[in-house]
Structure 1
Amino acid sequence: MCLLCDDEKAYQAYMDYLDAMERQGKVADPDKAMDAILDGLQAADKARRDAPENDKTLSPFFCSPVNK
């Protein structure tokens, strides 16, 4: 649990996961829950970094699509 205590987003996601499992009537394995939460947070972070609007290496002359 110490990995999650320092990160408020991770801790909140962990608690939300446990609540969702409890609502479904399932008992969550804490180790599997932590792995699932950390995998999800890493995937979200990677998707955020891979978004073209967050790419800081693009030239100012590069024409990127306009998001409306």
Structure 2
Amino acid sequence: MEFTTGANTTDITTGITPVITTLRTIITQELLGNDAQIYATPLTSMTVDIAISKAGVSASVAEFSTELDTA
């Protein structure tokens, strides 16, 4: 899942535009089934980006999962 700020986005804690404009995370069926909280952070974004970079954009789920585990 990716969260991206828009032109009028304001950080509710600072009142200014966020410095990091895009955050990514991975959501599994298990997380969805358990109604778990979903968080996207700079660390999850970096991890997802590394896994995509190593696996390639046309990777299978298994290939991506392997790279995600090593990232």
TM-score (normalizing by structure 2): 0.28
Larger radius of gyration: 1
**Which structure: greater helix fraction?**
1
Tell me the TM-score normalized by structure 1: 0.29
**Larger relative strand fraction:** 2
